[in-house]
Amino acid sequence: MALTAIPDTRTALDAELSAIAELDRSIRGAQAEQLRRVERARRLASEVEGVDELSTFTQREFATRAFIAELATSLTVHERTAGRMVGDAEQLTRRFTATLQTLADGSMCLGRVRTVLEFASQLPVEAQPEFEREALARGAGDTPSAFRRRARRLRERMHPIEAVERHEVARAERSVVLDPAPDGRAWLSIHLEAERGIAIMSRLDAFADVPGSDGEGVDTRTPMQRKTDAAADLLLGGWLHDAPATSPLAPPTSPLGAVTPKVYVTVPVMTLLGASDEPAELDGYGPIDADTARRLAAHAPSFQRILTHPETGAYLSYGRTTYRVPADLTGYLRVRDGGCRFPGCSRRAGRCDLDHTTDWAHGAHTSHQNLAHLCRKHHRLKHQTAWHVTQDTGGELRWTSPAGREYVTGPESPFREKPPPEASARAVALGCSATDADHPDTDTDTDTDTDTDANPEPPWAAGRTVAPAA
């Protein structure tokens, strides 16, 4: 019976594979149609912004930026992703129509289409049509990786500029990028010349080949772990953590080596005291474990430590080692906002501008209710395009796009509002805090000198004048 079932099973398997392949062709066709519609939408967005062929470069550039932001918020993707879609759509519908057609008929996947655009864009305009023809003709049956190798060789053969000259131009694009990863880790990527990259790896391999010591004469680390530790140690201060104390490469006592960065660490007060293991928040990364938070707070004086209520999470205080009146307001807003307040933007507040939601020139106040962090790109977008924003109670920003779509972004760490006067009066009469008066069943018997007033905002926010903390 099993033998007679094999043909039927094979037929069913063949049918499923055919259905999968047909679905893949349909997906590719849908991607081609999406790109065509993206280009049509871009042109309509330019009309909404009042931009045409006679407009200046700056006007056309801001119209494109406004549309990229519109597309990103509509699809809930990063603006880099939306920007790539806009760029791909413009090129494919204007100069690489044959490549777009291969995507539409399902004979080529989006990855290979982008490979054509990537390498063709590196050639002079007059050489691009020939590159497209040869790439499509020779790579029809290739896998994406094989197609990329073939396209790279074709680009090298057709490029009119010598490799040495191109290498010098490419050097200007070197960069370092940090990408957060789960469980307190992160990826650190360095984009630089190949020869320097190979030399760096060779040196790290040499360190990894020589076992170090964990203080007891035994090194249980793997070669990859030793290589990673060596790279981190050398970048942080030019030392190796397992070098002898008398060596010039011996480490300092700080966990961050010779580096003293100024970053914000939000630490629950009970965690800092060692009475809780509630995670802390490292600005620019996210949650970190309690032990790491305590270690950073103890060893890094340039860290801005921000204490939070152990139960409610309300902010109680933050250090005033750099206290100035504008710095106090800036510190409050940096913690409240966390980053750029434009929909979908992930740039941290420390690298953003503080923007008056309603312009100062229009009679608005410099207040926490009229200020929010915007990165430079979205700050300019707000002032130069049809994007519009208002600020609601609690620091929420309400954005309206050029197409009339509405998006609301909330603060990352909202501060609690000041309790109404009647609540404070009732609390005084009862001999407890305003929070206790509203929630009489809450156990508030704590042994701490920390001010736990239900309004943890700085003096300027509450309209009071209080001397700065020592």
**Same-domain check for residues 99 and 78:** yes
Q: What is the pLDDT of residues 316-342, one digit of tens each?
A: 333 333 334 356 678 778 888 889 999
Domain boundary among 278, 295, 318: 318
- Cα–Cα nearest to 50, from 61, 59, 38: 59
Residues 133 and 244 in one domain: no
Within-domain flag for 390: yes
Residues 207 and 254 in one domain: yes
429: burial class by Cβ within 10 Å (0-12, 13-18, 19+)? exposed
On whether both 156 and 17 belong to a single domain, the answer is yes
Neighbours of 190 (CB within 10 A): 13
- 165-172 long-range contacts, CB within 8 A, separation 24+: 167/193
**Residue 3 forms part of a structural domain:** no
Per-residue pLDDT of the chain (470 residues; tens, 9 = 90+): 455 556 788 899 999 999 999 999 999 999 999 999 999 999 999 999 999 888 899 999 999 999 999 999 999 999 999 999 999 999 999 999 999 999 999 999 999 999 999 999 989 999 999 999 999 987 777 888 889 989 988 998 898 887 767 777 888 889 999 888 888 888 999 998 877 787 788 778 877 777 665 555 677 888 888 888 888 888 876 665 555 555 555 555 544 444 444 556 666 666 666 667 766 777 666 677 777 777 766 665 555 555 554 544 433 333 333 334 356 678 778 888 889 999 999 888 888 998 989 887 787 777 788 889 999 999 999 999 999 999 998 889 999 999 999 999 999 887 655 455 454 444 433 334 444 434 434 333 333 333 333 333 433 333 333 333 33
Whether 240 and 269 map to the same domain: the answer is no
Distance between CA atoms of residues 173 and 246, nearest Å: 40
Alpha-carbon gap, residue 394 to 436, rounded angstroms: 22
Q: Is 281 left (phi over 0), alpha (psi -120 to 50) or beta?
A: beta
pTM assigned to the model: 0.64
> Strands 304-308, 264-268: parallel, antiparallel or unpaired by DSSP?
parallel
With respect to residue 281, please indicate whether it lies within any of the assigned structural domains: yes
Whether residue 289 is found in the same domain as residue 395: no
- Whether residue 138 is found in the same domain as residue 188: no
Structural domains counted in the chain: 5
Which residues constitute the domain of residue 179? 174-211+220-259
Domain assignment present for residue 6? The answer is: no
